[in-house]
Amino acid sequence: MQVVAVDIGGTHARFAIAEVENRRVVSLGPVMTQKTAEHASLQTAWQAFEAAHDGPLPRAAAISVASPITGDVIRLTNNPWVIRPSLIPERLNAETYTIINDFGAVGHAVAQLPAADFEHLCGPEETGLPTEGVTTVCGPGTGLGVAQVFKHAGEYHVLSTEGGHMDYAPLDGIEDNFVRRLRKIFTRVSAERVVAGPGIIAIYETLAEMEGRAVPSRDDKTIWAEALDGTDSIALAALDRFCLALGSVAGDLALAHGAKAVVIAGGLGLRIKDKLLRSGFDQRFVAKGRFQSMMSKIPVKLITHPQPGLFGAAAAFAQEHQRTAS
């Protein structure tokens, strides 16, 4: 069975045709990426994908959305689109559909992708993920996504969460300064304010101020580019600090979830893969006081599949519509 898979984030909406069978994803076709800012709604972006597609689209939709899925009015967290699930059959001409939180979709991808789509970051170097218990999934992008995958007796269940909005816990004086700067703007400082793409701005500005340098006004894309190519020493230091903070947050989530493994996801996680391996991420992940020994036994992996949101949306559809997905 074919299904239109859609992954809607804060900046981009991605579309592809997926083949699903026996509650699994068999294949994922070529991906079309559109900027959400260039479309008024999901419907107009869908129509643009349909116009570029050779022939009519399948009448089934698997949609992942960067927002909690509650009620019949979904307002995206970092995107002005509004989605009304009850109107999907009418607006998208879809007879069947699944709509899921974006990191819930990534959780389905984590549950179904083979071991080859994961790279070891730290902890015990094991092949594959645990077949029993909880795997925590988290990843920085426009926001900080968090989900859980619970496996038992050959089955799996995905729990979508808003764990990225828990309070951020600074671990040293420099991170205290991050929080002071952010508190002036937001009052409450969540993990997402630090450990997400835009969070690099506050980290960069704090470090520049500590150095007594003029704090230039730069957007997060510029700072990330300068950090990754090494052309700005403060940006590079900000990237190192970002990786440390991500390690701390990932460890906190693993503790809260009782996780047997952790998977780092998101496009930004993939971009900073090499930095994560050399940054001290691993030391921060296990730095949980009396639980350090337990934390050192948790494998942490990075998902390397290029489109886990699309793959996972299709996987969620296959699980929900198992009688028709075969």
Rounded to the nearest integer, the mean pLDDT of the chain is 93
pLDDT digits (tens, 9 = 90+) for 216-261: 789 999 999 999 999 999 999 999 999 999 999 999 999 999 999 9
Q: What is the 3-state secondary structure (H, E, C) of the chain?
A: CEEEEEEECCCEEEEEEEEEECCEEEEECCCEEEEHHHCCCHHHHHHHHHHHCCCCCCCEEEEEECCCCCCCCEECCCCCCEECHHHHHHHHCCCEEEEEEHHHHHHHHHHHCCHHHEEEEECCCCCCCCCCEEEEEEEECCCEEEEEEEEECCEEEEEEECHHHCECCCCCHHHHHHHHHHHHHHCCCEHHHHCCCCHHHHHHHHHHHHCCCCCCCCCHHHHHHHHHHCCCHHHHHHHHHHHHHHHHHHHHHHHHHCCCEEEECCHHHHHCHHHHHHCCHHHHHHCCHHHHHHHCCCCEEEECCCCHHHHHHHHHHHHHCCCCCC
Q: Judging by DSSP bridges, how do beta strands 261-264 and 300-303 pair with one another?
A: parallel
pLDDT, tens digit (0-9, with 9 covering 90-100), for 164-204: 999 999 999 999 999 999 999 999 999 999 999 999 999 99
Give 83-118 pLDDT, tens digit per residue: 999 999 999 999 999 999 989 999 999 999 999 999
Instruction: Return the ∠ at Cα 299 (arms to 110 and 195), rounded to 5°.
Output: 70
- Nearest residue to 102 via CA among 52, 59, 139, 150: 139
Which is higher by pLDDT, 11 or 203? 203
Contacts 24+ apart (CB under 8 A), 174-182: 174/206, 174/207, 174/210, 174/241, 175/241, 175/245, 177/206, 177/209, 177/210, 178/202, 178/203, 178/206, 178/241, 178/245, 181/205, 181/206
77, amino acid identity: T
With a pLDDT cut of 70, the percent of the chain lying above it is 98
The count of C-alpha atoms lying within 13 angstroms of the C-alpha of 210, restricted to the half-sphere facing its C-beta, is 17
Per-residue confidence band for 142, with pLDDT thresholds at 50, 70 and 90: confident
Per-residue model confidence (pLDDT) at position 54? 85
pLDDT: which is higher, 76 or 14: 14
**pLDDT beyond 60 at 55:** yes
Q: Assess whether pLDDT exceeds 90 at residue 310.
A: yes
Strand-pair partners of 158: 149
Residue 326 has pLDDT above 70, yes or no: no
Q: Are 45 and 80 a contacting pair, CB within 8 Å?
A: no
Q: Across residues 27-51, what is the average pLDDT?
A: 96
Return d(Cα 181, Cα 204) in angstroms, integer: 11
Model's pTM, two decimal places?
Answer: 0.90
Please state the three-class secondary structure of 154-203 as a single string.
Answer: CEEEEEEECHHHCECCCCCHHHHHHHHHHHHHHCCCEHHHHCCCCHHHHH
| 150-166 pLDDT tens trace | 999 999 999 989 899 99
pLDDT for the residue numbered 91: 95
